[in-house]
Amino acid sequence: MLKALVDKFTLNIIFMKRTRSYSWIICFMLLFSLGSCIKEEALNMEADIIALHADEDIFLLNPVISNTQVTLYLQPNIHDLTKLNMTFDLTPGASIELLKDSLKMPAGTQDMNKVIIDEFLKNGVYYKVTSEDHQFTKNYLIKIVKTDGGFVPTAYGFEDTAIDKDDKYTIFYNKIDGQDFYNWASGNPSFSLTLSLGGGTKDPESYPTKTSSDAHSGSKAALLETKLTGAFGAMFKKPIAAGNLFIGAFDTGPVLTDSLSATQFGLPFNQIPL
C-alpha cells in the first residue's frame, strides 16, 4: 500500500514537471510566432520637396512649390548669387541630387557654380528626389526669378501657354520684362490622377482648364470646363472636377488627404496704384 502511494506520488511529480516543460515550450512558440508576425514599418514611398531654405535672406517670399516645380523670387536689387547655398526639407527618408545632365555647359567652362547660378536664372535647374524605399522618384525644376520690374502682371491676355511634358495639361504663364513668370496654377495636375487611374487619354483637351481660340481679343482665351472624375473620383466622393485658374500654386501632394492645403492662393503685389 505504501509502495503504491509512493509510486503514484512519483508519477504525479514527473507529470507536473513535464507539464511545466510543455508550458514553457508552448509559451516560447507563441512568442516566436507573434514576433514573426510583427513586421518592420514599411519605408516611406513619398518623394517630395516640402520646403527650401537659403543661408542668406535674399528671397522676397517663401518658395512657391507645386507638383514638379519650385519658384524662388529674389528680392529687388539682389544680383550677386555667388555665395548662394540652399538646403531642402524633404519627405521623411527621401534624398535629393542635382541632375547635372540637365545643365547646359558652355564649351570650355570650368566654373560649375557659375553655370548652375546662370541656369537657375535662365531655364531653371532640375533636381531628382528619391523616396526612402528607392521605388519612386520625382524631378523638380527649380527656378530663381528676379523681381526688379515686378512679377505680378496687371493685364491678362492668357496668350502665353505651355504643355506639361509628362501629363500634357495646359500651363499658363506671363512674360514680364522678357522673363517667363509661372504665376498661374490650376487643378489640372490633380485631374491627371483621374486620367491615369481611369484609363483616360492625357492630352490638353482632356483637362478642365485649357485654352480656346474663341477669344474676345488676341488668339487665345482661357477655357474652364467641368469634367467627370469617373470611378476614381467616386471613391473619394468627388464625382466632378471644375475648371479653375488662379495666381498662386497647386501642390498635388496633400490633395486627397487635405485638399485645402493643396491650393496656395495669391502672390505679393509690389506696385502702387496710381
User: What averages of pLDDT result for each successive group of 10 residues across the chain (274 residues)?
Assistant: 45 47 54 56 88 89 84 87 91 94 76 88 92 93 84 84 92 82 89 86 95 93 94 84 92 74 80 72
Q: Does CATH place domain 149-269 in 2.60.120.890?
A: yes
* pLDDT for 14: 45
CB atoms within 10 A of CB 63: 19
* pLDDT for 166: 86
CB atoms within 10 A of CB 151: 24
* pLDDT for 148: 79
* pLDDT for 135: 93
Delimiting residues of CATH 2.60.40.2340 domain(s) in the chain: 41-148
Flag whether the pTM goes above 0.75. no
**What topology is assigned to 41-148 in CATH?**
Immunoglobulin-like (2.60.40)
Delimiting residues of CATH 2.60.120.890 domain(s) in the chain: 149-269
Answer yes or no: are the C-beta atoms of 61 and 267 closer than 8 Å. yes
Q: How is residue 115 written as a grid cell? A: 553655370
Query: Could you give the C-alpha distances from 145 to 38, 47, 59, 165, 174, in angstroms and in order?
Result: 50, 25, 10, 21, 13
CA dihedral sign of residues 136, 254, 55, 175: positive
